[in-house]
Amino acid sequence: MGLFDFLKVTVKDEKKAAPRRPNPPGGPTNVIEFDGKSFPLAGVSHKGFVATGFDGSLIPSQTARITVRIDDACGKFTFAATVTIEEVKGGSVSGAWNMLPPEVETTIRKYLQIRKQKTGK
């Protein structure tokens, strides 16, 4: 027995975040990411976002730091933002941007304009 054997501590391995999957063969990946989790975007605008498949890890009125990844036929960009969670309901979450830099807001508006031209939505 060594002098410092009493200091041995067993540390449980923490679950590592799953590696980021490439775009699925059938289409694009538009997601929000935080705390090593990602959720598909149902919609994004210059005011906020809606994501689906949500696990309830955020609550209304909570402030969170997220990363938004847009990668589809209408645009490809990524940005980090601070949001206020507005509603968590039925597996979806909506949030409002606290402050967006002007260039990010311009990029989102341009993306929405291109998307409307291509899809009519």
- Predicted local distance difference test score (pLDDT) of residue 70: 95
Q: Which of 14, 4, 1, 92 is nearest to 48 (CA)?
A: 92
Domain boundaries, the chain: 28-119
Cα–Cα nearest to 46, from 97, 103, 121: 97
Pick the CATH number of 28-119 from 2.40.10.220, 2.40.50.360, 3.10.20.30, 2.60.120.10: 2.40.10.220
Residues 121, 115: Cα–Cα separation, whole Å: 7
Q: Is the pTM of this model over 0.75?
A: no
Profile the chain (121 residues) by mean pLDDT over runs of 10 residues: 56 48 57 94 95 93 96 93 95 94 95 90 67
